[in-house]
Structure 1
């Protein structure tokens, strides 16, 4: 029987070759997908391993959490510690590589560290940390704050997912969460550095703000010298005299203008045995850490918790024999009780207020006091606040990258309105301070009394 040979078909041959090529491509894609999934799975295991509490005591667990936070925020020593933990974990599991998985890092441990701890492109920004005060991330954009001024960074994220990954790392290592039910979170480190995060639904794009703790000195004298030069030696003498005379002080200024730093410098000048009570929404001043020998009680108020609101903190504080009350910022809820504290024997207190000018401060506090619905004469209340609550006003500004005490003024009441008697004003034209008025006769008596008592 004659064998019939199949005719060769170019079309069929081309189709077969294309089919085989497609199969090979699909196999490579499947392999890459599988390798990526293996890496993600391994990263999740590492993340769970790191986030598990460590330590026998609460203090040990707190220190471990602090180490993770600092590693995420780019502190070199803590980063080395966490990288070593990842390397040890991989060695114990005898995992050295993921066959076929390509990454730009020297080791698999380095790649995993970058995924579960690293800051992505922020690492490039933070390579120059010396004068970096704050990082502000809005969506994929990054802003660097140096010398009090924000500037758009040359670096940016490729996608918001990278920002969200950093957010999730930070909240995970603090047993917190950021999700559709809670779209914000805050992390505070022991050194005063602070991270604030918001997610989709609360802000139009994910945000991440990292405010680094940069203060190294707390004495007024240091603020008169380079690199700060926030005030003159004559002004430092004025403020020390006001502290001794137990003036009630109020500090105003925009965000990041140095209000908290100045307040800490003023507190540093006080005798260690003086009983000081502070009330803050978040521990920012860290007085107990920086002044371990001072007689200080620090309250952290939580307005969303009725049992721990600032009003409750004030009530307890007034029963703890305070000689001075330091209120980080007057808000609507506690304006009345702070006014009562300042007018009922707790002289020498300090606070900050959001106001544009010193002239606006007494009225701003009056408005907050009136919100609780009590029947009060607003003019009489403003007069009382001007004369007894905000006796000396300090205004701070950012000028040429410096945090400057731009004004010190004696607050009073004259002809039915708030009057400021300026002791010192910063003149930008001469780049120096002017001293237009000496203290009033009433103030001179009090300042003299303070010197006598001392």
Structure 2
């Protein structure tokens, strides 16, 4: 039942057979623990592990596509995906059988077969496997040395589990980089692995960080809609804010989103993109394919750029230059940074309305100045006051702040930016009140914004007027 060829394993057609049952029968011994860690380099078990790991790495496929599928299978197996773990368990069983070692007893307690013990050493995650069994709501696993933190609902909490040694962290790291033909050593003390589903692993080693670290960030959400974020289950926003945001998207306001890591910025970006016309050309620019819009919105007219700032031919600047020649209606920039700030500002001021980006600042009031500071870094001698005015009027028309409140991701502020009397004016359109656990709507859209909406979509103008976001008196002329 274990006679699985490599092509079957990578193609997804093979079945793990009894392999899944064998692994599943060892739940109490999922963690190899110090028993395996203490095995000397000269022991037979260590030799077998080394040889079989080498064979798994060296396996060659008949095409580049098969090779990519195989690497993906290895990565997913290490990260706890059951179907892929079954495939790898069957492959290791075959390699053990070829060596006529099937009858040998395992070298660690808790395992019923040698195959399982070798699997746990090559593929297993030690106590992380116990955490992976509780995948409901699990967003991240953060390992710092032997300490483990679990992120659920955007909040990191210490895990009840801890790794038995730093060796275990390094073993998992080395398996991941080895199966990706990467390195993590004294010359390069970091590595990253990104899976096709958007999950990713970031690793650092001694010398770059005080302790080895491992962060596993899972891709958890498949569908994004404003209505879903406004549901009572998620409560990221309420129905009134949903109508406001939908109206702003339909009338092509440029948006900027801020908030800490895991506060829901990406989910909101995708929910806003879901509201856009499928035929509009949208261009995304990222350092890693994290948004993966084509996967979530296969029918939309989307071009996705992945940039590498260390390669001038594929830098953010080059991506922007090409993107502007591809007739974009909107530009979705994952995060505005120093090197590409001027290009993004230029794009927004040259007619690409309805664009969106995120920026790392602590307050919405800081956004225009922060972007202006980035633009000034290229020493072009620009007038800072004039630059801030342009950014306020054309780049940061609407600001949105995300946060985690009582373990739920929420929009805590929506503001309009205006440049008046020589300075930036920020008007709160919506704000979350923690004391009442509800949103308030203290301000209204400016005359300029109201007129923009009226010219763009009269129905949206009337709806936002009825909602109280636009003044009813002194209606603007069409």
TM norm. shorter chain > 0.5: yes
Instruction: Indicate whether 1:80 and 2:86 are aligned.
Output: yes
Instruction: Indicate whether 1:63 and 2:69 are aligned.
Output: yes
Aligned to 1:9: none
Q: CA deviation at 1:102?
A: 4.5
Trace 1:371-382 onto structure 2 (pairs within 5 A): 371-382=377-388
Question: How many angstroms apart in 2 are the aligned matches of 1:246 and 1:309?
Answer: 27
Aligned to 2:49: 43
1:386-440 residue CA offsets vs partner (Å, 9 max, x unmatched): 1111101111011011110111111111222211111111111110111111211
Q: Describe the shift of the 1:417–1:43 C-alpha distance in structure 2 as closer, same or farther (beyond 3 A).
A: same
Aligned to 1:416: 422
Aligned to 1:285: 291
Between 1:408-417 and 1:200-209, the stretch displaced more is 408-417
Instruction: Indicate whether 1:303 and 2:309 are aligned.
Output: yes
Trace 1:350-365 onto structure 2 (pairs within 5 A): 350-365=356-371
1:208-266 residue CA offsets vs partner (Å, 9 max, x unmatched): 00111111321111111143210111111111111111111100001111111110111
Trace 1:33-432 onto structure 2 (pairs within 5 A): 37-98=43-104, 101-432=107-438
Question: How many angstroms apart in 1 are the aligned matches of 2:415 and 2:174?
Answer: 46
Q: CA deviation at 1:41?
A: 1.1
1:1-46 residue CA offsets vs partner (Å, 9 max, x unmatched): xxxxxxxxxxxxxxxxxxxxxxxxxxxxxxx978962111111111
Instruction: Indicate conservation of the 8 Å contact 1:35/1:98, yes or no.
Output: no
Q: Describe the shift of the 1:102–1:161 C-alpha distance in structure 2 as closer, same or farther (beyond 3 A).
A: closer
Question: How many angstroms apart in 1 are the aligned matches of 2:61 and 2:41?
Answer: 35
Q: Describe the shift of the 1:35–1:204 C-alpha distance in structure 2 as closer, same or farther (beyond 3 A).
A: closer
* Gapped regions of structure 1 (runs ≥ 5): 1-31
1:312-365 residue CA offsets vs partner (Å, 9 max, x unmatched): 110111111111111000000000011000001111110000111111000000
1:113-137 residue CA offsets vs partner (Å, 9 max, x unmatched): 1000010111112221101111110
Counterpart secondary structure, 2:326: coil
Higher radius of gyration, 1 or 2: 1
Question: How many angstroms apart in 2 are the aligned matches of 1:294 and 1:268?
Answer: 9
What is the TM-score normalised by the length of structure 1?
A: 0.90
Q: CA deviation at 1:54?
A: 4.3
Instruction: Indicate conservation of the 8 Å contact 1:131/1:146, yes or no.
Output: yes
Question: How many angstroms apart in 1 are the aligned matches of 2:195 and 2:296?
Answer: 14
Q: Number of residue pairs matched? A: 423
CA RMSD of aligned residues (A): 1.7
- The list of structure 1 runs, each at least 4 consecutive aligned residues, that deviate by more than 3 angstroms after superposition, is 32-36, 97-103
1:243-302 residue CA offsets vs partner (Å, 9 max, x unmatched): 111111100001111111110111111111111110001110011111111111111111
* Gapped regions of structure 2 (runs ≥ 5): 1-37, 461-478
Q: Describe the shift of the 1:326–1:99 C-alpha distance in structure 2 as closer, same or farther (beyond 3 A).
A: closer
Counterpart secondary structure, 1:196: strand
Q: CA deviation at 1:100?
A: 8.1
Aligned to 1:24: none
Counterpart secondary structure, 2:396: coil
